[in-house]
Structure 1
């Protein structure tokens, strides 16, 4: 196998790999209008982003659809991964990174909080049982990089972490990269994090469905956050099958859009 991956140059772009909720859209066994839609915007894999930075491609979360997403977008290499939280729809594609260690010539750096690392070490325990490297290639080679609420750098790019509430019992991270911020899987943004979300060009924000939910913003709640923060552009993600792309898009206020798989946004 060649160790020089064939990969699309995405420098200066943020690409939505997935914009769907935890079960994806279409949902298994569902015959609703959105799940049976022929509009490709209604085909949503599990949430993930990739940022094309000058020093390499930064992946946010490893969704269970990761292989399909990277192949679809012709992205052949990932230099680092940044995690929002430890739920299955955000980490369980991690094994699809196994080829990256050959392309990088070493382990893939994973930037995450302690509870995310704990879940990864438990769920992918086989990746940490081979210190001699005898089974190199059969298991992902990983390098854990602990992060918290202090700003840090990934691939030379400054990152501002943002504490978000994902229901009453789960805390997650959002991230700000210059004038772009990503806040998925949340139904409450603490005051200190709201302060760090001012003066944005692009806000990417959780929006599950029409009705309120215990762990996600509803459409009205997401619109209220967007109105308060007033970014130039708001892109809604983590969308369920209740939200038909064309019908909802036609009713959104100026500056607010539903994101979709494959959407590319310039990085500021």
Structure 2
């Protein structure tokens, strides 16, 4: 029997989050909880395996909100601060482990992690209670029990960036690409294996390193998925107003939303 699958949106916001500090726009002052967006991250559970994607600055609050107590591996999309700077919060997931915590990242991202958090990767890191990382360079599909995770290379600014395709036999598959400006043909081909696509849609206006709403919808269409979810949303997006403009099979993600398969 295949493992069950659950993806939780820990955060759905852009790098500065929503509300934005000092902003009084109608989204930042909205009483709709769906307009309150912490930095983008998801948690995936497949059977007994618990996988975290990125360790952003809001990880502690996100984990407490969702009752997250166990992580078996961390996958990194890229090395930008809003996806890695909550690294120190990972120690809470190491306290009850005997083995180091596997961290899967591209070579570029792993180099940044080692530079930013050198103490954790040092051979002198022998103290119980500290993060004990097991660095793993992403070189192809990864398996966690019944869950297969395939990296999805995309273009986003100058950082080497990947999304991930989550597949469990017998269940709908889900692709997650929170930061992207363009998707190469080989990744589009991989996305055609997905039933659901979660994708960056920063705002309606064009942006040099992120997809606009229109661009995200075009990729959802090209991938041919049956369901699309928009994430990595800026304060230009009111949840209700944006969702009212979308095709019936595309929705706006929000913090705490769960997708089950």
Please indicate, yes or no, whether the TM-score normalized by the shorter chain is above 0.5: yes
Give yes or no for contact 2:49–2:144 (8 Å, CA) kept in 1. Answer: no
Distance 1:28 1:109 in 2: 34
Choose the corresponding residue for 1:255, options 239, 242, 249. 249
TM-score normalised to the size of structure 2? 0.93
Choose the corresponding residue for 1:197, options 187, 191, 195. 191
Q: Which runs of 4+ in 1 moved over 6 A?
A: none
Q: More deviation in 153-162 or 238-247?
A: 153-162
Query: Which consecutive residues of structure 2, in runs of 5 or more, have no partner in the other structure?
Result: 168-172
1:25-174 residue pairs with structure 2 within 5 A? 25-131=18-124, 133=126, 135-137=127-129, 139-148=130-139, 150-155=140-145, 157-167=147-157, 169-174=158-163
Query: Which consecutive residues of structure 1, in runs of 5 or more, have no partner in the other structure?
Result: 1-9
Cα 1:208–1:66 change in 2 (3 A) is same
Shift of residue 199, structure 1, vs aligned partner? 4.1
2:213 maps to 1:219: yes
Give yes or no for contact 2:41–2:53 (8 Å, CA) kept in 1. Answer: yes
Residue aligned with 1:103, SS: coil
| Cα RMSD for the two superposed structures | 1.5
Give yes or no for contact 1:16–1:262 (8 Å, CA) kept in 2. Answer: yes
Distance 1:220 1:246 in 2: 17
Distance 1:29 1:216 in 2: 23
Shift of residue 155, structure 1, vs aligned partner? 4.7
Shift of residue 156, structure 1, vs aligned partner? 5.1
TM-score normalised to the size of structure 1? 0.91
Q: Cα deviation per residue 1:152-197 (whole Å; 9 max; x = unaligned)?
A: 2235521111110003x23300111122101111010000100111
Question: Match for residue 222 of structure 2?
Answer: 228
Distance 2:104 2:51 in 1: 10
Q: Cα deviation per residue 1:115-154 (whole Å; 9 max; x = unaligned)?
A: 1111111111121335361x221x3111101112x22223
2:229 maps to 1:240: no
Residue aligned with 1:120, SS: helix
